[in-house]
Amino acid sequence: MIEVAVRHTRGAFSLDAAFAAEGRVTALFGRSGSGKSTLVDVIAGLVRPDHGRIVVDGVTLLDTEARLRVPVHRRRIGYVFQEARLMPHLTVRQNLLFGRWFSRDRDGGPGLAAVADLLGLAALLERRPAGLSGGERQRVAIGRALLARPRLLLMDEPLSALDEARKAEILPYVARLRDEARVPIVYVSHAVAEVARLADTVVVLDQGRVAACGPAAEVLRRGALFPGRDTAETGALLQMRVAAHDDAFGLTHLDGAPGRLTVPSLPLPAGASVRIRVRARDVLVAREAPRALSARNVLSGTVTAVTPGAGAHARVEIACGEASLVAEVTRLAVHDLALAPGLSVLAIVKSVAFDEETIGVVEI
């Protein structure tokens, strides 16, 4: 449980944000300049806010009212920075063990071997940071934070300095971290794909204020990620399970609340849990079953809401079983099909709409 309430003014920028989050991964989402980094710096204790209160797992780290301020080094908050910030004069092993010595009077947490294994660092231990790739450095930074036995892990856009290939290399490690390390994580990002794959709770920051806060699926479905802006990045977040593989056609069938989905082949065993995002712009709406259709996913559901946008677009929310999908269609289509709450429709998604951006990682 994390409770944060901060008021802080520096020059023209003012941050006035409060949120409470429970769950393994809380995403702080917002465009650059929205105050995300300042907020995590305040949580870590690197920035002293004018007013604030921070409680992590029942321990008060900051309370300006009560004149309480735990210094940075006693907060036990691991911080993975945008740039890895490894100590250049120490080896990977020494970097990893840096925080260990200062937390020697506490038990628990994974050991060096476990962390090196989790993050794929075993072969790098005797190297120095200058000889590592960007992705390797970031993995060392994550391991180093983890080994300091933190009560909370802050990750400030840990992937933003990396190219796409390196991002794809690290993201699974972060997901494993979430599932195996049992440390709550606050993950700062402005990438929808990262938030959709990792977060349980999403806090959306806009110009220093909290614009939305809630469970990831709900915030994504409401299209609240980009306040004041219509975007096709919104969509549904679905929890699915691998049902079967179709090796002949290179497909994987997934079962879940909305029914069966067919997606390009996933390298996962049957029964594995997977999180997928169905972008609103990838969903078609039909009133009757189309014939001879190339799209492989046709889900029947009921329209629950129709929200016309400012321009040509409209959002249609469709309940499919327990799940809820969002479709972005034109207002003209809403008119022609007479889409209205209560209407039975079919939601259609092309299998090829599912790609690396939308298919998430294994969950426990």
Query: 347: burial class by Cβ within 10 Å (0-12, 13-18, 19+)?
Result: buried
Residue 249 is a binding residue for other proteins (CB under 8 A): no
7 near other proteins (CB under 8 A): no
Of 94 and 239, nearer to other proteins (C-beta) is 94
Could you tell me the end-to-end alpha-carbon distance of the chain, in angstroms, rounded to an integer? 20
Comparing CA positions, the residue from 153, 134, 157 lying closest to residue 143 is 153
Is residue 110 helix, strand or coil?
coil
Site string for other proteins, 154-193 (x = CB under 8 A): ----------------------------------------
Nearer to other proteins, 59 or 270 (CB): 59
Burial of 363 (0-12, 13-18, 19+ CB in 10 A): middle
Q: Which of 1, 46, 305, 340 binds other proteins (CB under 8 A)?
A: 46
Question: Is residue 102 close enough to count as binding other proteins by CB under 8 A?
Answer: yes
> CA 157 → CA 105, 162, 307, distances in Å?
31, 10, 32
What is the CB neighbour count within 10 angstroms for residue 262? 19
Instruction: Measure the CA–CA gap between 92 and 86, rounded to whole angstroms.
Output: 8
58 or 88, CB closer to other proteins? 88
DSSP code of residue 145: H
> How many residues at the interface with other proteins, by CB under 8 A?
27
- Is 53 a binding residue for other proteins by CB under 8 A? The answer is no
Q: What is the DSSP code string of 193-244?
A: HHHHHH-SEEEEEETTEEEEEEEHHHHHHHTTTSTT---TT-EEEEEEEEEE
We find the least distance from the C-beta atom of residue 2 to other proteins, in angstroms, to be 16
- β-partners of residue 5 are 18, 53
Q: Which two tokens stand for residue 252?
A: 């994987």
Binding status of residue 137 toward other proteins by CB under 8 A = no
Q: Are 261 and 240 spatial neighbours (Cβ–Cβ below 8 Å)?
A: yes
* Widest pairwise Cα distance in the chain: 70
Span interacting with other proteins, options 13-21, 87-95, 261-269, 339-347, rule CB under 8 A: 87-95
Element (H, E) at 363: strand 359-363
Candidate ranges 61-69, 72-80, 175-183, 238-246; the one touching other proteins (CB under 8 A):
72-80
Taking CB under 8 A as the criterion, the residue among 75, 137, 221, 253 binding other proteins is 75
Closest to other proteins by CB, 140 or 238: 140
Options 33, 131, 290, 309; binder of other proteins; rule CB under 8 A: 131
- Choose, by CB under 8 A, the member of 51, 128, 296, 350 that binds other proteins: 128
**Bridge partners for 327 per DSSP:** 316
Q: With binding defined as CB under 8 A, does residue 99 bind other proteins?
A: yes
CB 187 within 8 A of CB 194: yes
Q: In terms of CB distance, is 128 or 209 closer to other proteins? A: 128
Out of 11, 65, 73, 271, which residue is the one contacting other proteins (CB under 8 A)? 73
Which of 77, 237, 240, 339 is close enough to bind other proteins by CB under 8 A? 77
Choices 123-131, 235-243, 244-252, 355-363; region in contact with other proteins by CB under 8 A: 123-131
What is the binding site for other proteins (CB under 8 A)?
Answer: 44-46, 72-79, 81, 83, 85, 87-89, 98-99, 102-103, 128, 130-131, 144-145, 148
